[in-house]
Amino acid sequence: MTSFSTMDATAWAGTDNAEAGVRYCLEKIQQLDPTLRAFERVFADAAIARARELDAMPADMRGRLHGVPIAIKAENDIAGIPTSYGTRANTDPCATDSALVARLRAAGAIIIGTTRMPECGAWPFTESEHSGITRNPLNLQFSPGGSSGGTAAAVAAGMVPVAIGGDGGGSIRIPAACCGLFGIKPQRGRISCDPHPHLWHDLGVTGPLARSARDLALILAVLADDATTMRTGHTENLVVGLSTASGLPGITPPDSHVRAAQTAAQLLGAVTDIQLPTPADAFLPQYFGGISDEFSRFNQPEKLERRTQHLGRIGTIIGQRGITWAKKRGKHYQRVLNDIFTTVDVIITPTIGARPAPAGILTKKNALTAQYAAAPYAAYTSLFNVTGHPAIAVPVGIDTQDKLPVSIHIAGKEHHETQLIELAHIIHQHLHAHQW
């Protein structure tokens, strides 16, 4: 009999009572979400109806995620509802599911709702002027991070066993770090972004957040277009590249983050200090251009927040010529990183360059001041969006000062998601109860 309170997607998969699991999640959502504000929409009736269909299905017809309730970040198309991107600017319902949602449904997952995000995924904090503040279930005075903050809050609070986020500069790994979860940014192109030709040009990917490394492996195997290309890599006697400097002026990581990265690196093998490039010249044009591109999907763009509109205008000014140049710079950084990976097996850094932010950090901030507040959170993660390499956030205990999670970040060679998930499991086993 499945114990739904474990919130373990791998254990839930194949349940003989999908309806009970869905009802368990819906009760948790009803109880907790009025305070946390993790969900934008909840599909209670549809989820129960689908669960009943699955319960009637013969065992030999069940998919790998049979009966698992999953929440979806509100930038993925779901048939019959508008894709909001965290805004009020779109009211046109989608005609069909995105490829990602269709793949989850085909595997037997039950889409239970959509999760909140800042407008257009622009910030590493999940709040807006119209939808309010999403709060960290580990401490309501703090943000769950972003932009997949609603996704992270839903999983960390036990409202769903696993959920889907999106990552254009750290937006899976940052909230995973703030909420004590595992979150993986897969290899660029690993998961289809259909019906869209790209997510923020070369930067964006989708991926899961979960409470365990094995749940990440399960969901990624379902979502991957070609799981056979994922390479395992060895997990013993590694050469570990360690980089704790942020590379951005004025951003110094907390001591607990540095100690955690150093300790995790030493657990895995021989450690060599490395210097990573700072790819702002490649990242920023694609970031602004990606936000600008999303405006074309809205039927009421005038309802966007002023600071979001400012970001889009910058993207319009940069134009396709600037984006093309930025992609070429991205190829340069990809080659630099591949050269580094000829001497090391994996790279470990802190996940974020600051402690979790207070809830409401964006209040009264404009585009410029919000950018300033956001910079420490993507200081380590955005490089790997530029280069396309896979990377994972791993919870490794708590900070003794604020009692919130500490997370380390592992980046791997191209297509080595499987190795990263295995290493994440090893590190978490050793350090999950550590106090830094």
Q: What is the pLDDT of residues 298-324, one digit of tens each?
A: 999 999 999 999 999 999 999 999 999
- Write down the pLDDT at residue 2: 59
CA separation, residue 1 to residues 69, 123, 210 (Å)? 17, 41, 22
Active-site residue, selected from the candidate residues 128, 171, 246, 256: 171
Report whether pLDDT(268) > 50: yes
CA separation, residue 409 to residues 63, 121, 182, 389, 405 (Å)? 31, 21, 10, 13, 13
**Of residues 6, 123, 58, 50, the one with CA closest to residue 357:** 123
**Which superfamily, per CATH, for 10-431?**
Amidase signature (AS) domain (3.90.1300.10)
Q: What is the mean pLDDT of the chain?
A: 96
CA distance linking residue 331 with residue 318, whole number of Å: 19
At residue 135 the predicted structure's pLDDT band, cuts being 50, 70 and 90, is very high
| Averaged pLDDT for residues 119-133 | 96
Report whether pLDDT(359) > 80: yes
Active-site residue, selected from the candidate residues 143, 147, 243, 407: 147
Q: What percent of the chain has pLDDT over 70?
A: 99
| Four-residue CA torsion sign, 429, 430, 431, 434 | positive
Report whether pLDDT(59) > 60: yes
Report whether pLDDT(362) > 80: yes
73 belongs to the catalytic site: yes
3-state helix vs strand vs coil in the chain, percent to 5: 40, 15, 40
For residue 69, give the H/E element and its range.
Answer: strand 69-73
Report whether pLDDT(249) > 90: no
Can you tell me whether residue 347 is helix, strand or coil? strand
CA distance linking residue 326 with residue 227, whole number of Å: 29
At residue 409 the predicted structure's pLDDT band, cuts being 50, 70 and 90, is very high
Residue with tokens 């194949």: 14
Report whether pLDDT(173) > 80: yes
Ordered by start, the domain boundaries in the chain are 10-431
Report whether pLDDT(227) > 90: no
CA distance linking residue 209 with residue 173, whole number of Å: 8
First CA to last CA across the chain, in angstroms? Answer: 38
Report whether pLDDT(1) > 60: no
CA distance linking residue 100 with residue 190, whole number of Å: 11
| Averaged pLDDT for residues 271-282 | 97
296 belongs to the catalytic site: no
The torsion of the CA quartet 42, 75, 6, 19, rounded to 10 degrees, works out to 40
Active-site residue, selected from the candidate residues 28, 73, 185, 413: 73
| Averaged pLDDT for residues 325-330 | 98
Q: What is the pLDDT of residues 28-42, one digit of tens each?
A: 999 999 999 999 999
- Write down the pLDDT at residue 4: 73
At residue 421 the predicted structure's pLDDT band, cuts being 50, 70 and 90, is very high
Range in 33-37, 57-61, 392-396 the model is least confident about = 57-61
Q: What is the pLDDT of residues 178-209, one digit of tens each?
A: 999 999 999 999 999 999 988 999 999 999 99
- Write down the pLDDT at residue 6: 76
| Averaged pLDDT for residues 240-252 | 93
At residue 3 the predicted structure's pLDDT band, cuts being 50, 70 and 90, is low
Range in 4-8, 202-206, 266-270, 378-382 the model is least confident about = 4-8
Q: What percent of the chain has pLDDT over 90?
A: 92
Tell me the Ramachandran region of residue 351: left when phi exceeds 0, alpha when psi lies from -120 to 50, beta otherwise: alpha
